[in-house]
Chains A and B, each alone.
Chain A
Amino acid sequence: MTDDTDPQTSDDASHPRTRILVPLPILEGGAVSAGLADLLEPLDVTVLGFHVLPEQTPPDQARLQYEDRATDALEDLAVEFGAEDGTADYRLVFTHDRKQTIDRVAAATTAGVYVVPGATGPVERLLVALTGDVAVDHVCAFTAELVGDRDIEVTLFLATDDEAAGRDLLEAARERLTDRGIDVQTDLAVDVAPLEALVDAAADHDAVVMGERAPSLRSLVFGEEAERIAAESVGPVFVVRRLEGDDGEERTLEGDGEGTESDAARDDDGEQSKDGG
């Protein structure tokens, strides 16, 4: 395990920050755009270098041959995300199943968010999708933390069939973010295909934030939503993970100490599951 590059960030109670997982296919020239590294500056980052193998190859066989090369590449990447300041570390996984690896490592590192890294220059406009059955509180809290006091415009996007309820939800979310001094616009799409509308809206933004949705038949057939949006929009897509048993009540944006308690709670959970092995 490679936590040794950064022993104390997650325990640093005075400065709890969301940890974000950046999965990269490390042996396929996985590089990170400068815009993404800058955008993630206020967060703790775990770079997840992974290599997916066809099933006829045992993961250990690939490790023997490629571990050194992958580790070198990962160390360089971790520096780009601030390994020297202690805000980034890395892990290396050989796997047959990319999604399973992301889920497992996200849980083990208590990362609440992972990103599908796309290419982007400096990020000036952020699209935040609240469509569907996602944890709106978590998505807003993460957006606020990501933007911080930087000059980044946020567009809240919602596709729904229920115009009135959608407007209420967008307004409530907008208030939460404007309270934090963030410049917010809203975009309500009614009675349209949600995914296509989101892809259209993403076109004039530099990055997308969305909530993870429960696996559905649709995602089984067409692949994961975030992947498709990343592919269509080219830019990075942030996915705020669903957290089982995390009620999110404490993650409202009304107070100043947003997310603190639940972050700490998640840290504890993560540590237990890590030791369980």
Chain B
Amino acid sequence: MAEESSESVNASSPSSPPSPPSTGPDASVSGTNLDGEAPRVEPTVETDEATITDDAELERTIGLSGGLAIGIGTMIGAGIFVFPGLAAGNAGPAASLSFAIGAVIALLVALPTSELATAMPKSGGGYYFISRGLGTLAGTVVGLSLWFGLVFATAFYLVGFGYYVVDTLVEVGVAAGEWLVIPIAVLAGVAFTILNVTGTENAAKLQNGVVALLLSIIVCFLAVGGLDAAGVFGEPSTPERFAPHGAMPILSTAALVFTSYLGFAQVATVAGEMKDPGRNLPLAMVGSVLVVGVLYVATIFVATSAFGSDQLETLGETAMVEVGRHYLGTVGALAILVGGLLATMSSANASVLSTSRAIYAVSRDALLPRDASRINLRYGTPHVALGLAGGPIVVLTATGRVELLAEVASFLHLVMYGLICVALLALRRNEPEWYDPAFRVPGYPIVPILGALSSFALVAFMQPASRWIGLAIVVLTAGWYAYYARDVSLRGVL
């Protein structure tokens, strides 16, 4: 033990044992975890079309549209289909300002994330950048927190899905009470896990189709609603005070709805599979934030124009269905129901996948037992990691606490986003030889500094319960590091 820890202290110094030319200072990966497993990091050459290791090649198969579909598909659900009622109840029409604040913060983080992703186009996303830029402790905390953060987010999407299923049942004439929401959500959680273990052959193509369909539903809805809100037809809506509850709720609502913007970082988790990452990663990340940000702000504006925010609040998680009915009658209500079902499903499914990738990334680096990333040869899927995602998701879904789930998910992601910005600052200040991003943040260092500050600041506006749970998870993961992986060194390793 003592030997290994002294090794890990030296590991990040440049005088490591001889390493192959052309690749990063890979020899500085060192140390083992409690089970004696060392990080598996091999020298690789990245091209636009493949990652080439010593003996094998890894094909890059996701294009720009695939990347955008991952980002938009993960993000589009919550902000439009679950939050309007809750957000408007908290902040009034100013909820659209809350969404705008969320979008700006997401953008401030998406830019640094893009730079890091083009410098390290590998699977693992935010975890990878932080563990390489800031070391193993920060890496462990973020990697494991990301796992739990995605689990909370998925549970939140599933509960939203449950509400939409119940509303759909009511719409088609089946009397279903709200008590059905949780059982349905839990069932859906189990179904997604099983589906992902046994293989979803064409899910990516399906996802692209779902995203296209969702965007067209939303754009139609916004066009009609926007014209109406502007008084072009229909009776003019009653003017309402923009921020009836003052400034503070605007910020706390921004913290609550930030869950709507978690998807852009999921694009970075497939960085290793993306074609031409230098171009496609920044475009997909920044593009998906811009697209959903604009749609969110416009949707809240339209929704609060249709009903007063107090009435919107009483309609709860599926308030948008009534907004759809207000503008387009039954057709509008059905379109929003279909959209809500698709959107919450696609967000939940994408997050289950990301969770299993997060677990793979930490287990490859020996921060979790290696068995956590084993693949099932029959289905070709990481069944252990998917189980480690699905189990906690089902448990959390059963609590049904929408706002708490959303806020804890936001908390854990915001910690990661803040640290991504810090990692960028750390790497840029002392640029390693291998650091050669194809995309550089405009406005450095102001953008990453603002990104870090605003991410951490947003945490301060959450409910105390969410902050305590989030903090407990961070402390727990740090404890895991101290217990299990103290001797592993990852800093400065590509």
Contacts and interface: CB of A to CB of B under 8 A. Distances in A.
> Are A and B part of the same complex?
yes
Interface of A: 1-2, 27, 52-67, 70-71, 91-97, 100-101, 104-105, 276-277
Contacts of B386: 56
Interface string B344-386: 0000000001001100100010000000011101011110001
A63 B375 CA distance: 10
Contacts of B46: 277
Contact of B61 (A27, A67, A97): A97
Contacts of A70: 56
Nearest to B377: A27
A92 B55 contact: yes
Given A55-B204, A67-B56, A96-B273, A61 B382 contact: yes
B272 interface: yes
Nearest 3 A/B pairs, CB to CB? A277-B47, A95-B59, A59-B58
Contact of B199 (A54, A97, A100): A54
A276 B56 CA distance: 18
A276 B46 CA distance: 11
A60 B123 contact: yes
Nearest to B360: A61
Nearest to A62: B375
A83 B9 CA distance: 46
B482 interface: no
A94 to B, nearest CB: 5
Given A64-B364, A277-B52, A59 B200 contact: no
Contact of A100 (B56, B59, B356): B59
Nearest to A51: B380
Given A62-B375, A62-B380, A64-B364, A55 B55 contact: no
Contact of A60 (B48, B58, B199, B374): B58
B45 interface: yes
Contact of A57 (B56, B364, B375): B375
Contacts of B59: 59, 93-97, 100-101, 104
Contacts of B47: 276-277
Contact of A58 (B48, B123, B196, B203): B123
14 contacts: A2-B55, A56-B199, A59-B273, A60-B272, A61-B373, A66-B375, A67-B55, A93-B57, A94-B58, A95-B59, A96-B62, A101-B59, A104-B50, A277-B47
B204 A63 contact: no
B128 to A, nearest CB: 11
Contact of A277 (B40, B49, B53): B49
Contacts of A2: 55
Nearest to B202: A55
Nearest to B197: A56
Contacts of B5: none
Contacts of A95: 58-59, 61
A194 B299 CA distance: 53
Contacts of B382: 56-57, 61
B51 interface: yes
A67 B44 CA distance: 14
Given A64-B40, A65-B375, A277-B47, A58 B357 contact: yes
